[in-house]
Amino acid sequence: MPTQVKVQTPEGVRTIALSDVRPYWLYDTATIAAADTEHYFFRTPENKTLVDTNLRQFSTIQVGWTFDISTIRVVPRVAIPIADMEILFANTVTTFLREGDIEIFTLPTVMLNAGCGLFGATTNTAEDIVSLGIPASGAVMKLKWPIVLYGGETFQFRTQWNPAVSASLSASAKVYMVLEGTLKRGVRGA
């Protein structure tokens, strides 16, 4: 398969590299155990399976890739009691960090609606909802402009508890962060 094409222009022949452009979801999990701590997403793939993350390198995507993020979702794993979800999402903020500790934005975690997830029973009642937000594409907070990540550039998301809150979860909660967008990468030769 060719990885570039030659194009005749009035100025002469130009070589253009071909790109593979596709929808993509980058996801990671964090286990949140107690209040007054901070937790990171997309920091490391170490000791995680494909169920936990599709991040392949520490805090970055592959060199040569460009990822335009259009939505950011926080999705609780199944069987988190509704009371714990309320404590978690009402009392935390999430910060997007680039190149180590450069803060790009901070907002309440509850604003990062999942717009997906399962409805169903947990250990509390049959009415418990196992989702952050209504499972509908319109329930997702869409970014006005995409956030562009470049391969080799480090990034991570940090979730912090409100220090004024002393509430704690009944058990540790595993939570996904899903970045949805468009991935661009060079075409590989055959």
pLDDT by residue, tens only, the chain of 190 residues: 566 667 777 888 877 677 788 999 999 999 887 655 788 999 989 999 999 999 988 999 999 899 999 999 888 877 777 778 888 888 889 999 999 889 999 999 888 877 666 554 444 544 444 556 666 667 778 889 999 999 999 999 999 888 777 777 777 888 899 999 999 988 765 5
Question: In angstroms, rounded to a whole number, what is the distance separating the alpha carbons of residues 101 and 155?
Answer: 9
Q: Show the domains of the chain with their CATH numbers.
A: 20-186 (2.60.120)
Report how far apart, in Å, the C-alpha atoms of 183 and of each of 55, 68, 117 are.
13, 6, 23
Question: In angstroms, rounded to a whole number, what is the distance separating the alpha carbons of residues 183 and 166?
Answer: 41
One-letter amino acid of 190: A
Collapsing DSSP to helix, strand or coil, 88 comes out as helix
Question: In angstroms, rounded to a whole number, what is the distance separating the alpha carbons of residues 183 and 143?
Answer: 16
How many CB atoms are closer than 10 A to CB 168? 13
Q: So what's the pLDDT on residue 173? A: 81
Q: So what's the pLDDT on residue 128? A: 44
Q: What is the pTM assigned to this prediction?
A: 0.81
| Sequence-separated (6 or more) residues with CB below 8 Å from residue 104 | 95, 96, 97, 98, 147
- Select from 33, 70, 34, 77 the least CA-distant residue to 53: 77
